[in-house]
Amino acid sequence: MADIHIEEFYKDTAIALVQLYNAFPRRVNLFVEDIAGPDQPDEFGLHSRRHMACFGGLLWLAEEGLLRYVDTIRQEALDQAVLTQSAFIRLSAPASPELVREIAPQALTEAEKAPPSVRSDYSTHIYLIRQALRGGHSAKVSQVMRATFFSDGPTDR
């Protein structure tokens, strides 16, 4: 059984990357509440552990060179965030055929029916991340995010 905080990390970073990819190349504000859900700070104004874990995940994406931002908005958002070149290339790149079959087997059928100009879109990391999030299975989200973050590719250093 996976640690719940790691599964939440994968889900939060997946949502953030999809938001940034959907807006690319525009800069957007990434709000923690839009990713992890509403939060009620305590009587001292401190956010919940869940909120802070999501905020930490966003900062980690920046520290690892996957996104850039101008500033933080308290501990509630990243101001003017955008994907880095390496993250954009990685998300747009095709995933392994094994991962496509595992995460989105229907993509193979859909790709066959699609025009050649969009056929390759069905095997990209961003497509698989979207499919895993839509399916709501944390194990698939974790699997596709591990492949996106840690497999050989443009974001490896």
Q: Domain spans of the chain? A: 4-87, 93-150
Q: Inform me whether the pLDDT recorded for 154 exceeds 90.
A: no
Enumerate residues 6+ apart whose C-beta is below 8 A from 67. Answer: 16, 20, 58, 61, 78, 81, 82, 83, 84, 87
If you ran DSSP here, which 8-state letter would residue 44 be given?
T
The pTM of the full predicted model, rounded to 2 decimals, is 0.89
CATH number of 4-87: 1.10.10
* pLDDT of the residue at 145: 96
- Which residues are paired to 82 by β-bridges? 68
Enumerate residues 6+ apart whose C-beta is below 8 A from 10. Answer: 138, 141, 142, 145, 146
**Mean pLDDT estimate for the chain:** 90
| pLDDT tens readout for residues 33-72 | 999 999 988 888 889 999 999 999 999 999 999 999 999 9
- Which residues are paired to 28 by β-bridges? 81
Using pLDDT thresholds of 50, 70 and 90, give the confidence band for residue 139: very high
* pLDDT of the residue at 152: 58
